[in-house]
A and B are shown apart, each in its own frame.
Chain A
């Protein structure tokens, strides 16, 4: 099975008073480049970092990351 992961980080940042990537990076303890890579879908974070992101936005993990099955 193949799945494609998507994320709503850009949208969530926007709804959290246009939080900058740097601010989100500082709050999750990673670099701004990592946040940028995750947002662009070029890097999949660890489960720990994914939960950190959800915690910062005060939402569930499924609201930050979604997936679609592309091949069964």
Chain B
């Protein structure tokens, strides 16, 4: 599994965690059906805090992943160097880490392709939330649906990217 695949997998895990946390904490507190809260200010504040925590969590997890990945590559390079009786200096390890983390045209194409899938989810979520609003559901439901569609879109983006990496390697 390449660095880009592992990074995408980490993002997917972060997305799943934030989605689960939202479903466990925000949804029961503010309601999802016709009985959903009318206190939009409190909901908006909770969502903003949630988004802030989510962004910080993703950054921390990505930094940790980056560190562990570099350490992993350095160890594997040292071990393979010891097995084949060749000297492994810092320069070689650095070269290997840079080569593993390289982002090229293939990664960008996969990112573009998957973002198209993501935008479909966001669009569909927006339409569904508008339909619910038109059917007399409270505005809080619209906000929940928009948040969930953003989460799901990022998840499906990640899954599709993983699928593309798997089918072309």
Contacts and interface: CB of A to CB of B under 8 A. Distances in A.
Name the residue among B103, B106, B167 with the largest chain A CB count within 10 angstroms: B106
A66 interface: no
B169 interface: yes
Interface string B133-160: 0000000000000000000000000000
Q: Which 3 A-B pairs have the closest CB atoms?
A: A30-B104, A31-B102, A42-B168
Interface of A: 22, 25-26, 29-34, 36-37, 40, 42-43, 45-46, 49
A36 B168 CA distance: 9
24 contacts: A29-B102, A29-B104, A30-B102, A30-B104, A30-B105, A30-B106, A31-B2, A31-B4, A31-B99, A31-B100, A31-B104, A31-B106, A31-B107, A32-B100, A33-B2, A33-B4, A33-B169, A34-B104, A34-B106, A37-B169, A40-B169, A43-B106, A45-B105, A49-B105
Contacts of B99: 22, 25-26, 31-32
A8 B149 CA distance: 45
Q: Main SS of the interface on chain B?
A: helix
A29 B169 CA distance: 18
Interface of B: 2, 4, 95, 99-100, 102-107, 167-169
Contacts of A32: 99-100
A36 B102 contact: no
Nearest to B106: A34
A42 B2 CA distance: 16
Nearest to B101: A31
A17 B168 CA distance: 27
A36 B106 CA distance: 12
Contacts of A33: 2, 4, 106, 169
Nearest to B104: A30
Contacts of B169: 33, 36-37, 40, 42
